[in-house]
Chain A
Amino acid sequence: MAAVQGGPVDAVEEKDIKTEPSNDGCGSNSTNDGRAASASPGSGAPAAGAKPAAAAPEDQQTLLAVLQFLKKNKLTESVDILRREAGLPEDSLDLKGADSSAAGSGGAAGGAAAGGAVAGGDLGAADASSLLSRVTASSSAVVQAPTKAAGEDQPDVNVVLSAYSQQGDPKLYPVYYNGLKRFIESVLDCHRAELSQVFYPLFVHMYLELVYNNYESEAKAFFEKFRGDQECYYEDDLRILSSLSKREHMRGNETLLDFRTSKFVLRISRDSYQLLKRHLQERQNNQIWNIIQEHLYIDIFDGMPRSKSQIDAMSGSLAGEAKREANKAKVYYGLLKEPEIELPLDDEDEEAENEEGKPKKKKPKKDSVGSKSKKQDPNAPQQTRIPLPELKDSDKLDKIMYMKEATKRIRLGPENLPSICFYSFLNAYQGLTAVDFTDDSSLIAGGFADSTVRVWSVTPKKLRKVKSAADLNLIDKESDDVLERIMDEKTASELKILYGHSGPVYGISFSPDRNYLLSSSEDGTVRLWSLQTFTCLVGYKGHNYPVWDTHFSPHGYYFVSGGHDRVARLWATDHYQPLRIFSGHLADVTCTRFHPNSNYVATGSSDRTIRLWDVLNGSCVRIFTGHKGPIHALAFSPNGKFLASGATDSRVLLWDIGHGLMIGELKGHTDSIYSLRFSRDGEILASGSMDNTVRLWNATKAFDDLETDDFTAATGHVHLQDNSQELLLGTYMSKSTPVINLHFTRRNLLLAAGSYNP
Chain B
Amino acid sequence: MADREERRFAEVSRESVKLMAESAGVELGDDVAALLAEDVCYRLREATQSSSQFMRHAKRRKLTVEDFNRALRWSKVEAVCGYGAQDALPFCPAKEGELFFIEDRDINLVELALATNIPKGCAETMVRVNVSYLDGKGNLEPQGTVPTAVQSLSEDLLKYYQQITRAILGEDPHLMKVALLDLQSNSKIAALLPYFVYVISGVKSVSHDLEQLNRLLHMVKSLVQNPYLYLGSYVRSLVSSVMYCILEPLAASINPLNDHWTLRDYAALLLSHIFWTHGDLVSGLYHQILLSLQKVLSDPVRPLCSHYGAVVGLHALGWKAVERVLFPHLPAYWANLQAVLDDYSVSNAQVKADGHKVYGAILVAVERLLKMKALSLSQPAEGGSGGQPGSAVGGRVSSPGLSPPPEPLSEAALGIASHLQAGGAGCPWEEWTPVPLPAMYCELYSFFGDSLAVRFSTGPGFGSYPPCAPSQLADTRKEPCGPASNPDTARKMPQLTANLNISPRQDGSPRTDPPPPSLAATGPGRSLARSSSSSSSSVQRSRSSSSRPGQRSTGPSRDVFPKARFTSPQAGLPVFTFLIGGRQMGRRCQGRRPFQTAFAPTPPISSVPPRAYAHKLPVIGRVGKPVRRWACSHYSLHLPL
Task: Show the binding face of A for B, using Cβ within 8 Å.
Answer: 224-229, 239-240, 242-246, 248-249, 252-253, 416-433, 444, 446, 448-449, 454, 456, 458, 495, 503-504, 506, 522, 545-546, 548, 564, 588, 590, 606, 630, 632, 648, 672, 674, 690, 692, 696, 729-738, 740, 752-753, 756, 758
Q: Please measure, in the bound complex, the distance between the C-alpha atom of A322 and the C-alpha atom of B142, giving whole angstroms.
A: 41
Which chain A positions have C-beta within 8 A of B133?
A: 417, 419-420, 730, 732
Given A224-B6, A548-B57, A674-B59, answer yes or no on A430-B136 (Cβ-Cβ < 8 Å): no
Supposing A224-B6, A419-B135, A545-B74 touch, asked if A243 and B123 sit within 8 A by C-beta, the answer is no
* Residue in B7, B58, B61, B150 whose beta carbon sits within 8 Å of that of A449 in the complex: B58
Partner of A426 from the list B61, B143, B147 (CB cut-off 8 Å) is B147
What residues on B are CB-neighbors of A446 within 8 Å? Answer: 125, 127
Contacts A420-B136, A731-B140; is A740 near B53 (CB within 8 Å)? Answer: no
A and B contact pairs by CB, cutoff 8 A, 24 listed:
A224-B6, A225-B2, A227-B2, A240-B49, A246-B39, A416-B135, A417-B135, A419-B135, A419-B136, A421-B130, A422-B130, A422-B143, A423-B127, A426-B125, A426-B128, A427-B123, A432-B59, A448-B125, A454-B125, A548-B57, A588-B53, A734-B132, A735-B142, A735-B143
- Chain A residues closer than 8 Å to B7, beta-carbon distance: 242
Contact partner, B58, options A243, A248, A504, A752, Cβ 8 Å: A504
Q: Top 5 closest A-B pairs, CB basis?
A: A417-B136, A228-B2, A243-B45, A420-B133, A735-B144
Hey, which bits of chain B sit against chain A, CB under 8 A? 1-4, 6-7, 9, 38-39, 41-42, 45-46, 49, 53-54, 56-61, 66, 70, 74, 122-138, 140-147, 149-150
Known: A427-B150, A696-B136. A606 touches B53 (CB 8 A): yes
Residues of A within 8 A of B49 (CB): 239-240, 243
Among residues of A, the one whose C-beta sits closest to the C-beta of B8 is: A239
In the assembly, what is the distance between CA of A458 and CA of B130, in Å?
12
Residues on A with C-beta less than 8 A from B53 are 564, 588, 606
Query: Is the CB–CB distance between B59 and A690 below 8 Å?
Result: yes
A429 to B121, CA, bound (A): 11
By the criterion CB–CB under 8 Å, are B138 and A732 in contact?
yes
* B127, A430: Cβ atoms closer than 8 Å: no
| Apart from A245-B42, A424-B147, 13 more pairs, CB < 8 Å | A226-B1, A248-B39, A253-B46, A416-B136, A422-B131, A425-B125, A425-B127, A426-B128, A426-B147, A427-B122, A458-B129, A495-B126, A734-B132
Contact B125 A430 (CB under 8 A): yes
- Residues in B neighbouring A425, C-beta threshold 8 A: 125-127
> A630-B56, A733-B143 are contacts. A243–B136 as well, Cβ < 8 Å?
no
Q: How far apart are the CA atoms of A432 and B58 in the complex, in Å? A: 7
Given contact pairs A224-B6, A548-B57, A735-B146, A246 touches B138 in the complex (Cβ within 8 A):
no
Chain B nearest Cβ from A547, distance in angstroms: 10
In the assembled complex, the CB of B73 is this many whole angstroms from the nearest CB of chain A, namely 10
A421 touches B129 (CB 8 A): yes
CA–CA, A224 and B6, complex, Å: 7
Instruction: Write out the residue numbers on chain A whose beta carbons fall within 8 Å of the beta carbon of B150.
Output: 426-427
Q: Closest Cβ of chain A: how far from B502's Cβ, in Å?
A: 63
Q: Which of B1, B45, B61, B142 lies in contact with A734, CB distance below 8 A?
A: B142
Residue pair A422, B125 in contact (C-beta under 8 Å): no
* Residue from A416, A522, A590, A735 within 8 A of B70 (CB atoms): A522
Residue of B nearest to A418 (CB): B136
How far apart are the CA atoms of A244 and B74 in the complex, in Å? Answer: 20
Closest residue of chain B to A240 (Cβ to Cβ) is: B49
The CA of A426 and the CA of B127, in the complex, are separated in Å by: 6
Residue numbers in A under 8 Å from B66 (CB-CB):
449
Q: Which residues of A contact B140 (CB under 8 A)?
A: 731, 733
Instruction: Give, as a whole number of angstroms, the nearest-CB distance from B333 to chain A.
Output: 40
- Whether the Cβ atoms of B42 and A249 lie closer than 8 Å is yes
Asked if B142 and A733 sit within 8 Å, CB to CB, the answer is: yes
User: Chain B residues near A674 (CB, 8 Å)?
Assistant: 59
Please report the C-alpha to C-alpha distance between residue A545 and residue B181 in the assembled complex, in whole angstroms. Answer: 62
Q: Which residues of B contact A249 (CB under 8 A)?
A: 39, 42, 46
Smallest CB separation, B402 vs chain A (Å): 36
The answer to whether B149 touches A427, judged by C-beta atoms less than 8 angstroms apart, is yes
Name the residue on A nearest B61 (C-beta): A690
A243–B9 contact, CB under 8 A? yes
Residue in B39, B58, B141 whose CB lies within 8 Å of A433: B58
* Contact yes or no, B42 A427, CB < 8 A: no
Question: CA A736 – CA B144 in complex, angstroms?
Answer: 10
CA distance A648 to B60 in the complex (A): 12
Whole-angstrom distance between the Cβ of B525 and the nearest chain A Cβ: 52
**Known contacts A424-B147, A522-B70, A735-B147, A458 near B127 by CB under 8 Å:** yes
B59 CB contact (under 8 Å) in A240, A433, A588: A433
Give B513 Cβ to nearest chain A Cβ, in Å: 52
CA distance A243 to B134 in the complex (A): 50
Taking a contact as CB atoms under 8 Å apart, the answer to whether B128 and A424 are in contact is: yes
CB-CB < 8 A to B145: which residues of A? Answer: 735
Q: How far is the CB of B419 from chain A (nearest CB, A)?
A: 26
**Min CB gap B591→A, angstroms:** 52
C-alpha gap A431/B137 in the complex (Å): 31
Query: Which of chain B's residues have a CB closer than 8 A to the CB of A433?
Result: 57-59
Min CB distance, B147 to chain A, in Å? 5
Given A429-B122, A672-B56, A738-B59, residue A422 in contact with residue B127 (CB < 8 A): no
Chain B hits for A672, CB < 8 A: 56
Residue picked from B45, B57, B66, B130, most chain A C-beta under 10 Å: B57
| Shortest beta-carbon distance from B120 to chain A in Å | 12
Distance (Å) between the CB of B300 and the closest chain A CB?
39
In the complex, A736→B149 CA distance in Å?
13
Among B127, B131, B141, contact of A419 (Cβ-Cβ < 8 Å): B131
Docked CA distance A446–B41 (Å): 37
Docked CA distance A590–B56 (Å): 10
* Residues on A with beta carbons closer than 8 Å to the beta carbon of B9: 243
Given contacts A224-B2, A423-B127, A522-B70, contact A632 B132 (CB under 8 A): no
Contacts of A243 in B (CB 8 A): 9, 41-42, 45-46, 49
CA distance A676 to B352 in the complex (A): 66
The residue in chain A whose Cβ has the minimal distance to the Cβ of B86 is A429
CB within 8 A of B74: which of A226, A227, A546?
Answer: A546
**Cα–Cα distance between A503 and B69 once the two chains are bound (Å):** 12
A225 to B2, CA, bound (A): 5
A423 to chain B: closest CB distance in Å?
A: 5
Contacts of B4 in A (CB 8 A): 228
A417-B135, A732-B143 known; A424 vs B127 contact (CB < 8 Å): yes
Closest to B144 in A: A735
Of B38, B45, B127, the residue contacting A444 (CB under 8 A) is B127
Tell me how far the C-beta of B188 lies from the nearest C-beta in chain A, rounded to whole angstroms: 21
* Chain A positions within 8 Å of B132 at CB level: 420-422, 732, 734, 752
**How far apart sit A632 and B60, CA to CA, in the bound complex (Å)?**
13
Query: Which residue of chain B is the closest to A729 with respect to CB atoms?
Result: B136
Instruction: Give CA–CA (A564, B57) in the complex, Å.
Output: 11
By beta carbon, the residue of chain B nearest A740 is B59
Residues of chain A lying within 8 A (CB to CB) of residue B147: 424, 426, 735, 756
Specify the chain B residue showing the minimal Cβ separation from A731. B140
A225 CA to B126 CA, complexed, in Å: 54
Q: Which chain A residues border B126 with CB–CB below 8 Å?
A: 425-427, 456, 495
Shortest distance from the beta carbon of B69 to any chain A beta carbon, whole Å: 11
Chain A residues, Cβ within 8 Å of B61 = 690
Closest to B35 in A: A246
* Complex Cα spacing A417 to B133, Å: 10
Residue of chain B at shortest CB distance from A427: B123
Q: Which of B1, B56, B138 is the one whose CB lies under 8 Å from A229?
A: B1
A503 to B61 alpha-carbon distance, docked (Å): 19
* A756 contact set on B, CB distance < 8 A: 147
Shortest B32–chain A CB gap in Å is 14
Which residue, of B3, B38, B129, B146, has the highest number of chain A Cβ atoms within 10 A?
B129
Q: Which residues of A contact B143 (CB under 8 A)?
A: 422, 732-735
Name the residue of chain A whose CB is nearest to the CB of B145.
A735
* Residue numbers in A under 8 Å from B144 (CB-CB): 422, 424, 734-735, 737
